[in-house]
Each structure stands twice: as structure tokens, then as C-alpha cells.
């Protein structure tokens, strides 16, 4: 069912199946554990309150689980690099697949530029006299180098990047829980807060609407899990590895995110939370751990580089996939002898540098507008995954197959894709109620419309050229 040749090691023009389960899990966690968790959580606590934040993240975890189940069935049945935009093209419409690919490419390319800038700011903490752009350029070369050597080296680099974050978050949960109950003393000598801050402002101090308003922010914090679907085409034995990766990734996300949010909400009063400073740093300052700022600056730096690493991988593969489906020039579909789509990576890297440049030149216009699309785009991609899964299973059964014949079968069909779809739609609706996030709709909806128009214009032109060439051939 794959549109690409069966990859074998060492042959030009093919991806190599070198990723293992541990690589897939860490690739997914690396894409997820980043600025969304480290910074957005403060904004969500200040908007919805402690219990509202926990509820929002629990709903977000449910959405991720439903989307991943849908993606699991699709990616095991059709393990292709580029994954879900091909499923959208096949089971929804070619124009929808094209739009989904561009939305996802833009999301990661913009995130790449902002990540490089943030990494430069992290380094300035230690080296205040060195300009940010020098660090940006250095990290740009490192991330590009990790991606162009081989997929195996990329996956190994991402594995270690992510491992640092995972160990630190576990340490944060353990130390924070100790501070909650008084086992770890507070720096200013105040008594342990226990669960006081969770209910200090009432169960839901601003009502239930803020939970809906922050759902896209929560979903964006969880975004990156879908990288498992993109990497399925470069995974050995996807029918065994992908389901394991999905189960372990979702389980770890629930532990890391819900555990971290619970500790944060318990230790930081609602009126002190925000996004000016990472709430994780604020907690470490409260419990007075020596060198907390340096430790967390390093962790946030690795988190940013890890997200940039995953971002370049994702945007390059998505561009390759568009070209492989003949919607972009074939030059972007070429891969070298090591199975790396160099042209697609180069263009995606330029996109990241342009986003970085715009963050310096026009931070209040271009960069903010592009960044606002990211959360909307991720939710739109998840919508397409749920819809594709729903149509795929119906078509599979209509062709006389049985559900038991699927290599991996998502449970609770059709509830799984339908509930996932509805929750994603509700998250988009929530954007309309938040003035600070509404720009995502103002930018995202016209961008989607532009992608559909671009698809039909380019397809009409391609058909005209094909007809003209065919006419000349017959005339000759």
C-alpha cells in the first residue's frame, strides 16, 4: 500500500528503516517536552486556576490518546514517511492532504526559528557579551549536522536530548512533591503548602470557560506525539514497534505532564503564575536548590535544541512527502545514499532561519502571526488524523475485510475517531473566546483557504502541461 519503494539499507533514493522503539518513544517525547510544558503551563494556571489546569491537561491527554490510537491504526497499515497528510489525501481529499502537509511544515519550520532564537538567549545567560546570532548560527549547524549524517545518528542524538529532559522532569516531580509535604524545606522558611494552593481561589475561580479557551494551548503543549506517525516509514517492524511506542509515549506523557502540573499548581499561587519566567524556575527558587537557575537554564536549552532537532526532521520529511506525491518539484523528493532528503532539509532550514530573522526584524507582526498559527495548525492536523481513520476503517470493511485482519486495530471504533474529532473542534472554538489567542483563527483560517486555492491552481496547471506534452507527442 506504500507509494514509496521498500527501503533497504545503502540504496540511493530510499529511506532506511533504522529506528527502534526507544528511538520512536524518545523522538515523540522530545517533540512534546519543550516550551509548551516549560512556559505555557504558567499562562494556563493564571487563566484557569490550579484545578482548571489539571482538568485541561487531563482532557488534553485524552485527546492525544484518541488521536494516537487513530494514527496507530493508519501508520501500521500504511507505514509511510510523511504519514498523515498522505492519509488525508487518500481518505478525505487530495486538497486536504496538501493543506495538512503545508500546515504541519509551517508549524515546525516556525518553531525551528523561534527555538534557535531562544537557544541563543539561553547561552547569553552564561555569555552575555556574545551576540545571540552567533549562538543561533552555531546551533543551526549542529542541528542540521545531526539531521544530515544518518537517520540513526539523528535518532540517537534525539534519544539523549530527550533523556536529559525526562530525568530532569522526574527529579522536579520528586523534589516538588517533597516540598509540598514538607520533606524539602522552603527557602524562606514558610510551612509546606500541601494542597492549599489548589483550592485557595475556589475550585474554578474564573468559571469553566477558561478551560475551553486554553485547550489549544494545552494541545500545542502535547504536540509532537504525532512524530511517531511521520517516522513510521523509517522504523523496523512498524507493526510491532509503533503500537508499543504509542502506549509508552502516552503513559509517560500523562505521568510527566499531569505530575508536573500538579506539583506546579500546588507550589505556585494562581496570582503568581505567568509566562515571563518559567514556572519550573519559580518553583526551584522557592525551594532554594543551589544553582537552580543554571541547572534549569541548561535543561531548557537542551529542551529547545531537542525540539529544534525534531522540528527540522518533521518539516524536512513533510516537504519530501509533498514532492514524492508530485505536488512539489521532484528535486525535493531526492534522498542521498544515507537515506537523507537533503534538498527538503535545506529548504526547511532556510524556512527556520527566515522565521528567526522575522523574530528580530518584526516581532509584533510576522513572527507573532506565524507562531499563532502553530497551535491551530497542530489541532487541524489532529482533526485530519481522526477523520482519515474514520473513513479508512469504513472503507476497509466495505471492501470485504474484517477488523481482525488489521495489523493494529484501534479500540472502541467509531467512538475513538469521532470523540477525538469533536474535542479538537471544541479546542478551535475556544480560541474565539480568548482575545490573546484569537489571532490564530484570523491567520489560520485564511492560510487554510490559501492552501486549497494553491492546490487547485497548481493541479490545473499541471494537467494543462501534461495535456500539452501529450498533444505534442501524438502530433510528432
12 pLDDT band (50/70/90 cuts)?
very low
The answer to whether position 8 is within a domain reads: no
The predicted-structure confidence for 14-23, as pLDDT tens digits, reads as follows: 545 555 556 5
- Average confidence (pLDDT) over 247-276: 75
Domain CATH for 409: 1.20.1740.10
Q: Per the structure, how many domains does the chain have?
A: 1
Compare 150 and 416 and report the one with higher pLDDT.
416
Q: For all residues of the chain together, what is the average pLDDT?
A: 77
- Average confidence (pLDDT) over 368-373: 59
Give start and end residues of each alpha helix (H) in 127-267: 132-148, 151-181, 196-199, 209-213, 215-222, 227-231, 238-253, 259-267
10 pLDDT band (50/70/90 cuts)?
very low
The answer to whether position 5 is within a domain reads: no
User: Could you tell me if 325 and 89 are in contact, meaning their C-beta atoms sit under 8 angstroms apart?
Assistant: yes
382 pLDDT band (50/70/90 cuts)?
very high
Compare 8 and 333 and report the one with higher pLDDT.
333
63 pLDDT band (50/70/90 cuts)?
very high
Give start and end residues of each alpha helix (H) in 79-150: 84-91, 94-126, 132-148
The answer to whether position 466 is within a domain reads: no
The answer to whether position 62 is within a domain reads: yes
- What pLDDT, on the 0 to 100 scale, is given for residue 47? 78
The answer to whether position 210 is within a domain reads: yes
What is the value of pTM for the model shown? Answer: 0.78
The answer to whether position 158 is within a domain reads: yes
The answer to whether position 473 is within a domain reads: no
Distance between CA atoms of residues 361 and 357, nearest Å = 6
Picking from 114, 164, 103, 105, the residue whose alpha carbon sits closest to that of residue 140 is: 114
Compare 48 and 383 and report the one with higher pLDDT.
383
Picking from 332, 410, 306, the residue whose alpha carbon sits closest to that of residue 65 is: 410
Compare 15 and 141 and report the one with higher pLDDT.
141
Tell me the range of 106-120, 220-234, 357-371, 409-423 where mean pLDDT is highest. 409-423
Q: Which residues of 420-448 are buried (b: 16+ CB within 10 A; e: fewer)?
A: bbebbeebbebbeebeebebbbebbeebb
The answer to whether position 14 is within a domain reads: no
470 pLDDT band (50/70/90 cuts)?
low
172 pLDDT band (50/70/90 cuts)?
confident
Amino acid at each position: 500500500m506504500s507509494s514509496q519503494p521498500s527501503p533497504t539499507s545503502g540504496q540511493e533514493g530510499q529511506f532506511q528503516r533504522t529506528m527502534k522503539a526507544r528511538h520512536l518513544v524518545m523522538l515523540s517525547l522530545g517533540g512534546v517536552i519543550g516550551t509548551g510544558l516549560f512556559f505555557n503551563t504558567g499562562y494556563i494556571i493564571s487563566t484557569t486556576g490550579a484545578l482548571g489546569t489539571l482538568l485541561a491537561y487531563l482532557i488534553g491527554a485524552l485527546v492525544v490518546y484518541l488521536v494516537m490510537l487513530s494514527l496507530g491504526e493508519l501508520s501500521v497499515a500504511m507505514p509511510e514517511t510523511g504519514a498523515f497528510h498522505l492519509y488525508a489525501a487518500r481518505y478525505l481529499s487530495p486538497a486536504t492532504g496538501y493543506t495538512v502537509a503545508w500546515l504541519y511544515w509551517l508549524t515546525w519550520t516556525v518553531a525551528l526559528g523561534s527555538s534557535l532564537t531562544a537557544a541563543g538567549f539561553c547561552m547569553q545567560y552564561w555569555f552575555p557579551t556574545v551576540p545571540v546570532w552567533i549562538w543561533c548560527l552555531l546551533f543551526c549547524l549542529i542541528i542540521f549536522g545531526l539531521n544530515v549524517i544518518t537517520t540513526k545518528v539523528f535518532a540517537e542524538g534525539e534519544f539523549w536530548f530527550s533523556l536529559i529532559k525526562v530525568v530532569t522532569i522526574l527529579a522536579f516531580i520528586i523534589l516538588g512533591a517533597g516540598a509540598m509535604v514538607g520533606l524539602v524545606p522552603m527557602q524562606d522558611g514558610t510551612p509546606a503548602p500541601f494542597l492549599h494552593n489548589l483550592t485557595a481561589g475556589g475550585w474554578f475561580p474564573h468559571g469553566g470557560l477558561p478551560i475551553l479557551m486554553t485547550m489549544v494551548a494545552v494541545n500545542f503543549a502535547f504536540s509532537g506525539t504525532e512524530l511517531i506517525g511521520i517516522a513510521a516509514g523509517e522504523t523496523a517492524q512498524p507493526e510491532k514497534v509503533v503500537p508499543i511506542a504509542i502506549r509508552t509515549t502516552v503513559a509517560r506523557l500523562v505521568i510527566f505532564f499531569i505530575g508536573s502540573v500538579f506539583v506546579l499548581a500546588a507550589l505556585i499561587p494562581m496570582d503568581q503564575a505567568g509566562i515571563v519566567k518559567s514556572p519550573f524556575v519559580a518553583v526551584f527558587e522557592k525551594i532554594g536548590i543551589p544553582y537552580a537557575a543554571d541547572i534549569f537554564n541548561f535543561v531548557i536549552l537542551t529542551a529547545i535544541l531537542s525540539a529544534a532537532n525534531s522540528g527540522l526532521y518533521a518539516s524536512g520529511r513533510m516537504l519530501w512527502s509533498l514532492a514524492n506525491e508530485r505536488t512539489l518539484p521532484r528535486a525535493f523528493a531526492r534522498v542521498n545514499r544515507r537515506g537523507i532528503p537533503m534538498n527538503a532539509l535545506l529548504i526547511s532550514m532556510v524556512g527556520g532561519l527566515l522565521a528567526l530573522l522575522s523574530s528580530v526584524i518584526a516581532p509584533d507582526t510576522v513572527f507573532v502571526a506565524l507562531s499563532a498559527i502553530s497551535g491551530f495548525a497542530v489541532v487541524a492536523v489532529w482533526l485530519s488524523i481522526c477523520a482519515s481513520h474514520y473513513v479508512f476503517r469504513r472503507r476497509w470493511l466495505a471492501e470485504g475485510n474484517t477488523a481482525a485482519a488489521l495489523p493494529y486495530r484501534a479500540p472502541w471504533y467509531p467512538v475513538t475517531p469521532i470523540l477525538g474529532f469533536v474535542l479538537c473542534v471544541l479546542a478551535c472554538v475556544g480560541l474565539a473566546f480568548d482575545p490573546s489567542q484569537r489571532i490564530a483563527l484570523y491567520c489560520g483560517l485564511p492560510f487554510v483557504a490559501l492552501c486549497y486555492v494553491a492546490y487547485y491552481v497548481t493541479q490545473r496547471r499541471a494537467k494543462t502541461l501534461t495535456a500539452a506534452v501529450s498533444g505534442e507527442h501524438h502530433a510528432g
